[in-house]
Amino acid sequence: MKMQMYSEADVDTSCLSGKQVTILGYGSQGRAHALNLKDSGFDVVVGLRRDGASWAKAEADGLVVKEPSAAVKGAAIIALLTPDMVQKRLYETVVPDIDEGATLLFAHGFAVHFKLIEPRADLNTVLIAPKGPGGLVRRQYEEGHGVPCLVAIHQDATGDALKLALAYAAGIGGARAGVIETTFAEETETDLFGEQAVLCGGATELIVAGFETLVEAGYQPEVAYYEVMHELKLIVDLLHEGGLKKMHKFISDTAAWGDLISGPRVVDDSSRAAMKDILTDIQDGTFARNWIAENEAGMPEFKSKMQADLDHPIESVGADLRGRMDWLEG
């Protein structure tokens, strides 16, 4: 697929003029989307359970809040911005009240790609996926910038699904930074792979393994923490701002030489083979089936593994050291 990127010049937001946009969910992405759309002049309604903790927060933010089934009535766009495993039940609850020809919007393609949700035939089904957490989406918007987004069309029932999706992307600030066209499959599979093999799973295992290696060799845990966890942000910031080139420019020659000769010893052919296995599990649905089954069982393995992570010595060492760094945010 040849890359297609849309900017503000390619977007006509008038297609949503006077039309209601409903946001279901008020977590990190939900709050950012709702506030950005409101500040962009859109008519925004937030759908939440009245007994939920987020109702008062959304009202305090100046938003109109209704129960989900009431919130979707009359909406041109309904954005499902709840966790993946909640979306199926939520969709089934509200779909009888969704107008014919409305647009379902997702920020991640998991539920649609893996067929937890099979949208009604008359509904547009689109994806607008900001490439950053909700806090960043909101902060960049307020500063006059935007977080890049991905756009995909799963179902174009009305013939203008892309136009509507791009208008929404512009409303949250994404068109300021560029909106790249993709597919639900590509977004879902690459997002899951990035999280598992590199950004979350790969990075945390590398950090913990480095910490354990140094401590087992007799070095102080506090010094080990600084070297493998604390300083990681310095490197990630350089990579984020200017790729490999900027990182190599700002680290020492000694560090760069160590990178070039030792990095391939850590991420070697066996690591690449494991990455391919992870990708295969994602592509053939194995990961999704296992994750759905884990949720249905009450998440015993998830909770056990999470607790083991939180009980690792690097956590107590890090908490003590971070407590002395009063410039850090919670």
Cα–Cα distance between 281 and 70 in angstroms, integer? 39
Q: What is the crossing angle of helices 286-296 and 84-94, to 10°?
A: 70
* Of 177, 171, 141, residue with least CA distance to 5: 177
Cα–Cα distance between 191 and 283 in angstroms, integer? 12
Paired strand residues for 66: 47
Q: What contacts 318, CB < 8 A, 6 or more positions away?
A: 225, 229, 230
Q: What is the crossing angle of helices 28-39 and 161-171, to 10°?
A: 90
**103 phi and psi angles, rounded to 5 deg:** -120, 125
Q: Which amino acid is at 198?
A: V
In angstroms, what is the C-alpha Rg of the chain? 22
Cα–Cα distance between 119 and 127 in angstroms, integer? 13
The answer to whether 108 is a known catalytic residue is yes
Looking at 33, 108, 113, 154, which residue is catalytic?
A: 108
Beta strand 20-24 with 43-47 is parallel
For residue 84 the two structure tokens come to 């993946």
The distance from CA 292 to its chain's CA centroid, rounded to whole angstroms, is: 19
Cα-based angle 291, 154, 120 (whole degrees, multiple of 5): 85
Polymer length in residues for the chain: 330
Ranges of beta strands (E only) in the chain are 5-6, 20-24, 43-47, 64-66, 75-80, 103-106, 124-130, 149-155, 179-181
Which positions are catalytic? 108
